[in-house]
Structure 1
């Protein structure tokens, strides 16, 4: 089937019997400024409506030095937290006449450099980045050309704008309550120790144990990555070494918890006495037979703060707060937690 040709200002001008400049002035709302008659203006607008004319975003961006697009860089879209925040950001962009371009890095620094370069070549107005890099050197260079907002992850001593959930104190509060009655065994399953989410959630876990008067056994801490398969494997190995499920377990993300729950379901452990805790919440946790206490991020607020900060930077305004750690909410579901 032959592809229909998109109507242009030249086509509108020809059908309306006016010059291209006259058609352009009318369609851009400048007919009064250029003293174009009402009859000519109406004729151009009628033709444009009949032809379903839509202005070219590329032409608009050339004229305005804006592309009206934002770039979002995340490790993966299957991660529930990133997926929820991406959805919120896309809605905000759409409602404000902008487009969100999403790129995934798979926690690969070379791939991150490639996708960031691709987004810059597409002339995005700004970058929101959950980076796998360990320092901000590259993004400091990029920020001299266009705004950069770090999201979810921080780099040591960075001065770049940042939006993330507070993880240390919230994790400590959760772990302390559980550890006060479950003092002899409390394991931790996390992602890569080099990235800030793992470090912060582990710091909160250790602080919670300390406040509860529980001495940390180094063997309680296990690392992998944030894929469900890693959670499955670490939990399987833990159950094999103990000969049973652990008494209490803090899981550092929804993705890891998915792997833990899959193992428990396959081995009929969902009715066991294990006390599960997790960073990140999921609405399905309310429907499970096993009760999971969680630290819940507010993805809607995270997206709003990222978007508002980015728009301020695009407009060359200094954000009110350059680095923002948003409070998380604790969801208590386990009977022991509810009774304390």
Structure 2
């Protein structure tokens, strides 16, 4: 070879086949042109010996790709994840890439198992809403299958992640109400998660901006399970002997559970102020006026697609941490 850079003609010569055959294999046209699996394996084995060269790595990734991306979410019934998956699937479909969507049900062991199953299915990359406390497991996967965290991320991780900005937007959301009230309750779950922690930080910042001093018993948190928001508000109601004047929920499913309790006890909408992270169009028709933060699903989905594309092509990301600005939706 005239230079150290291996070319298709060089691989063809080493494999004893034509350059056209090598090109067909690298571009996944070997079945169309009835190239034998033996020839395919021989060509790829030679390319593997030179995969330290970036262009050869790209050839190998394309030749071995399954055009599938694995996605792990904790709960597909959650409206936020459903809307995100809707936009994500549409964005990848435009590139003829299919999603394999799995659910962890907020269970760490289940998450690890479904991630391993996705690897066994040879997905090209993974987008994960993780419930794990460490990135060690995904760092090992990332050595051969690119991993992108979404929504939640692990503090100090070197893996890329995409999430919505929370601190400033939550502070802006609740500040006008905090200025006119003498109490504001945060009813949330899983405060150890970075996304929830950021929303809690924004809640505290909003109170500070409004000049309202936070009382320790205004923060109501627990581990999440279905109907937890209902249970937390019911217990708070019993403890206070009345309902709180204002509530902020850091997720749409918790808001839904809080609303189910309010409906059950037939609370007058004028008696309570409700704010939440995660807007859904159905809130516009709610009996209770609700101000909410609407995440930009379409932008997040497009950035996920572009980031995965960069990772698969071994491009250096401009930013490992990407925060997407959400919008505040005020009730009429």
| TM-score, normalization by structure 1 | 0.78
Quote the Cα distance in structure 2 between the aligned partners of 1:312 and 1:63: 13
Residue 164 of structure 1: how far off its partner (Å)? 0.3
Residue 28 of structure 1: how far off its partner (Å)? 5.1
**What does residue 277 of structure 2 align with?**
279
Q: 2:269 touches 2:289 (CA, 8 Å); kept in 1? A: no
CA distances 1:108-161 after superposition (whole Å, capped 9, x unpaired): 111111100000000000010111111211111211111110100121111111
Q: How many residues align?
A: 281
Q: CA separation of 1:267/1:138 partners in 2, compared to 1, >3 Å: closer, same or farther?
A: same
**What does residue 160 of structure 1 align with?**
159
- Structure possessing the higher radius of gyration over alpha carbons: 1
Quote the Cα distance in structure 1 between the aligned partners of 2:193 and 2:137: 17
Secondary structure of the 1:128 match is strand
The structure 1 segments of at least 4 consecutive aligned residues displaced by more than 4 Å after TM superposition are 24-30, 225-228
**What does residue 240 of structure 1 align with?**
238
**Aligned runs of 1:57-136 on 2, under 5 Å?**
64-136=63-135
- Give yes or no for the alignment of 1:146 onto 2:145: yes
**Aligned runs of 1:171-186 on 2, under 5 Å?**
171-182=170-181, 184-186=182-184
Quote the Cα distance in structure 1 between the aligned partners of 2:302 and 2:106: 25
Quote the Cα distance in structure 2 between the aligned partners of 1:172 and 1:29: 61
**What does residue 228 of structure 2 align with?**
230
* Unaligned residue ranges in structure 2 (runs of 5+): 1-28, 36-59
**What does residue 39 of structure 2 align with?**
none
Q: 1:73 touches 1:131 (CA, 8 Å); kept in 2? A: yes
Alignment partner for residue 200 of structure 1, among 182, 198, 201? 198
Q: CA separation of 1:25/1:248 partners in 2, compared to 1, >3 Å: closer, same or farther?
A: closer
Q: CA separation of 1:117/1:273 partners in 2, compared to 1, >3 Å: closer, same or farther?
A: same
Range moving further from structure 2, 200-209 or 87-96: 87-96
Alignment partner for residue 214 of structure 2, among 216, 222, 225? 216
Secondary structure of the 1:311 match is helix
**What does residue 307 of structure 2 align with?**
309
Residue 29 of structure 1: how far off its partner (Å)? 11
Cα root mean square deviation, aligned: 2.2
**What does residue 261 of structure 2 align with?**
263
Quote the Cα distance in structure 2 between the aligned partners of 1:196 and 1:299: 19
Residue 91 of structure 1: how far off its partner (Å)? 1.3
Secondary structure of the 1:294 match is strand
| TM-score, normalization by structure 2 | 0.80
Residue 246 of structure 1: how far off its partner (Å)? 1.0
Q: 1:192 touches 1:226 (CA, 8 Å); kept in 2? A: yes
